[in-house]
Amino acid sequence: MKKIAIIFGAKSFEHEISIVSSISMKKVLKNELIYIFIDKHREFYLIPTQKITSKLFSTGEYKKFDKLSITQGGFYKSSFFGSKAIEFDVVLNLVHGGDGEDGVLASMFEFFNIPFIGPRTSASVVSCDKYITKGYASSHDVKTLECQYFRKGQDIKIAKYPVIIKPTKLGSSIGVSIVKNEDELSYACDVAFEYDDEIIVEPFINGVKEYNLAGTKINGEINFSIVEEPQKEEFLDFDKKYLDFNRTEQVAKADISFELISKLKDNFTKIYNNTFDGSLIRCDFFVIDDEVYLNEINSIPGSMANYLFDDFNSLINELSNNLPKSKHINITYEYVNKIQKAKGK
């Protein structure tokens, strides 16, 4: 089995969630794991797998471990004789939110030719912005709820309540509020704008059926998880969703018809397309009047949605053998040489 380097932490509102999610991998992956922590200053640290605990990071003790640098092909630590490469076969990107899901790390891995499991840059752009996600879904014939889009400083007018207000670029229900009347609007917007300069406003449908489905592409075919019907509350706030990032026990299948499962898988396949090659994603769907609507794309789901799969360990190892290849570009300087020759130089 491959040696997997788990990247986690980083400069993100979901920094702590990433820590919890990454530690959970010790329970579900049989591979040799290498932990590379990114702190809030975007410094890299090699954390010994046998010593990793959440307390290391809250107390700052992680700083006593080796600091790493990054260059072509991987990560390195300083040694008496220069620098030594950190040995691993593939990176698992487990940075939730900013840096991890917005394409920053994906671009870095691609630039430094480091093989990684996770959304590529274009997939990150599509999935991290909820407003852009709706346009992407529509272009692939997947329904989403209608929404209004506002930037910070705009006059916000809502025609009909209740609504749900969301920052466009955050997950885990951070900054999300249900607004039942105009009196609650101003405060909810202030909360959302604390995290993002852009928000979307969607109709809030009480009691809507919600289903989660995860999957990844192996040898050109989508490998689906079971369908989960998540815990029903008015909506799952940050504290309730936080628990999902530490789940390692498989959950029960949703008690739904074969026809609905097929509809959910069809919509998932349209969303995954080729855009999300190299990643394992979870799509959260609403079902309204027997119609499926995409709620959001989780391009790096909590604990990698391991609890939705029968054999998560094998799936991750198979995915590591099915990563997209970067296109080779042959640079010959032919054009420059022709110019120099024409000039007689």
Tell me: the pLDDT tens digits for 259-318?
Answer: 999 999 999 999 999 999 999 999 999 999 999 999 999 999 999 999 999 999 999 999
Question: Residues 115-129: what's their mean pLDDT?
Answer: 96
List CB contacts of 262: < 8 A, sequence separation 6 or more: none
**Model confidence band, residue 343 (pLDDT cutoffs 50, 70, 90):** confident
Is residue 242 assigned to a domain?
yes
302 in the same domain as 178: no
Half-sphere exposure of 186 (CA within 13 A, CB side): 1
264 in the same domain as 135: yes
Half-sphere exposure of 71 (CA within 13 A, CB side): 8
- pLDDT at residue number 232: 64
Residue type, 115: P
CA distance 92 to 334: 39
Nearest Cα to 267, choosing from 289, 295, 244?
295
21 in the same domain as 101: yes
Look at residue 319 and give its three-state secondary structure: helix
Nearest Cα to 116, choosing from 247, 268, 2?
2
CA distance 31 to 46: 17
Residue type, 3: K
Residue 56 phi, psi (nearest 5): -55, -35
CA distance 253 to 82: 53
| The overall pTM is greater than 0.75 | yes
Please give the structure tokens belonging to residue 172. Answer: 């885990």
DSSP 149: E
The enclosing domain of 237 has a CATH number of 3.30.470.20
236-246: pLDDT as tens digits: 454 554 455 56
**Model confidence band, residue 38 (pLDDT cutoffs 50, 70, 90):** very high
**Domain boundary residue among 157, 181, 203?**
203
**Model confidence band, residue 199 (pLDDT cutoffs 50, 70, 90):** very high
Is residue 132 assigned to a domain?
yes
138 in the same domain as 108: no
CA distance 110 to 116: 9
228 in the same domain as 163: no
Beta bridge partner(s), residue 74: 71
List b or e across 269-305, with b for residues whose CB sees 16 or more CB atoms inside 10 angstroms. bebbeebbbbbbbbbbbbbeeeebbbbbbbbbbbbbb
155 in the same domain as 103: no
Number of folded domains in the chain?
A: 3
- Proportion of the chain above pLDDT 70, given as a percent: 94
Is residue 336 assigned to a domain?
no
Q: Tokens 């815990």 identify what position? A: 231
CA distance 62 to 47: 7
Is residue 268 assigned to a domain?
yes
182 in the same domain as 95: no
The enclosing domain of 75 has a CATH number of 3.40.50.20
Give the burial class of 99: count Cβ atoms within 10 A of its Cβ; 0-12 exposed, 13-18 middle, 19 or more buried.
buried
Please give the structure tokens belonging to residue 206. Answer: 């009480």
Residue 150 phi, psi (nearest 5): -135, 145
Beta bridge partner(s), residue 285: 211, 294
- pLDDT at residue number 246: 62
Is residue 277 assigned to a domain?
yes
276 in the same domain as 231: yes
Give the structural domain span for 263. 125-142+207-320
Is residue 99 assigned to a domain?
yes
Is residue 314 assigned to a domain?
yes
Whether residue 276 contacts residue 324, with contact meaning beta carbons closer than 8 Å, is answered with: no
**Model confidence band, residue 231 (pLDDT cutoffs 50, 70, 90):** confident
- pLDDT at residue number 239: 52
Please give the structure tokens belonging to residue 78. Answer: 């300083």
